[in-house]
Structure 1
Amino acid sequence: MHSHDSVPVPVKRLPHFEGLELPAYATDGAAGMDVLAAEDVTLAPGARHAVATGLAVAIPHGFEIQVRPRSGLALKHGISVPNAPGTIDSDYRGEVKVILINHGAEPFDVRRGDRIAQLVLAPVTRANWLKIDELDETARGEGGFGSTGGVFALGS
């Protein structure tokens, strides 16, 4: 990792973070950092919980941190982030929490120190609305959900 490839993000470790590791990239090519749980919680099937990480951050202006599910937990246990990707805004200074949901059939134990999600630092482009009366025409036009192809009933 070269210094010009990374953006410094100030991080405050809260008392219940004690003894845990900061979020880290598992490999050189990883886009996301694995973040750890700072508490124990059991998620019943269908249940949601905002899992503490013990960290607060000061994300630089012009960036966000996206909170994404871990693919292994999703595949093996049905554990996901219900608002994926969640967003941590650059002006938020509270504790980073990861909302987890159990889509599986069995209760799932989250233990302090478990890798629960991925954090991706990403640039933000802000929009400003340009009010007009008509939009430009495209081949797709106003076709909505599923309009660009998919499964068609036999005989249609």
Structure 2
Amino acid sequence: MPSPSLTVEIKLIDPRLRDWGLPAYQTPMAAALDLFACIDADLVLDPGAPAQLIPSGFALHMADAHLAALVLPRSGLGHRKGLVLGNAVGLIDADFTDQLLISAWNRNPPGGPSITIQPGERIAQLMFVPVLRPQLTEVTAFSRPSERQGGFGSTGG
């Protein structure tokens, strides 16, 4: 498991992040870093339109097979405005070194409000997570019994 003092390299691509703020935890106990929309002009997302890729302004390199990062929506933007991520959650592998892009989508129904994203607006968040990489072993029968049997939703919930 990664240590709390783990270091991840960050490469600045958009110098405006120095003014807006480099990705940082907003409170001492925040689980994720805020990501900014590094765009040159307001971006209008209409309801029902395809998701748009928005640059984050930086690249990172974790270089640790036991670490990954998740691009997550900001809760308030989804609840108040209808802004969600086009792929729900983005997974960043430890060996990915290109600029992080944020897939943004307006989930409002047709005829609903458009969403305007402004340059420098915090639109998503990045959370680092430990990765377990178990070795898969093919078997003809499982070595331990389970009370769970059945298909999708088999617990009745």
TM-score (normalizing by structure 2): 0.84
RMSD: 1.7
Tell me the CA shift for residue 32 of structure 1: 0.8
- The 2-side partners of 1:122 and 1:101 are apart by 24
Summarize the alignment of residues 92-131 of structure 1 with structure 2, pairs less than 5 Å apart. Answer: 92-104=96-108, 105-131=112-138
Q: Does 1:85 align with 2:92?
A: no
Mapped contact 1:38–1:112 kept (Cα < 8 A): yes
Q: Which runs of 4+ in 1 moved over 4 A?
A: none
Which residue in 1 is equivalent to 2:148? 140
Please say if residues 84 and 106 of structure 2, whose CA atoms lie closer than 8 Å, have aligned partners that are also in contact: yes
Provide the secondary structure at the position in 2 that maps to 1:28: coil
Match of 1:12 in 2: 11
Moved more, 105-114 or 38-47: 38-47
Gaps of 5+ in 2: none
Partner of 1:31: 31
State the match for 1:154 in structure 2.
none
CA shift digits 1:41-68 (9 cap, x unpaired): 2111123111111101111312111101
5+ residue gaps, structure 1 = 151-156
Mapped to 1, the partners of 2:134 and 2:16 lie a distance apart of 36
Q: Which residue of 2 aligns with 1:53?
A: 56
| Structure 1 SS opposite 2:20 | coil
Q: Deviations over 1:103-150 (max 9, x none)?
A: 013111111111111100111111321000012432121x22222124
Q: With structure 1 as the length reference, what TM-score do the two structures score?
A: 0.85
Relative to structure 1, the CA distance from residue 23 to residue 49 in structure 2 (aligned partners, 3 Å threshold; closer, same or farther) is same
1:97: Cα distance to partner?
0.6
> Between the two proteins, what is the percent identity of the paired residues?
35
* Corresponding position of 1:153: none
Match in the other structure for 1:63: 67
Aligned length: 146
Please tell me whether the aligned partners of residues 14 and 58 of structure 2 are also in contact (alpha carbons under 8 angstroms).
no
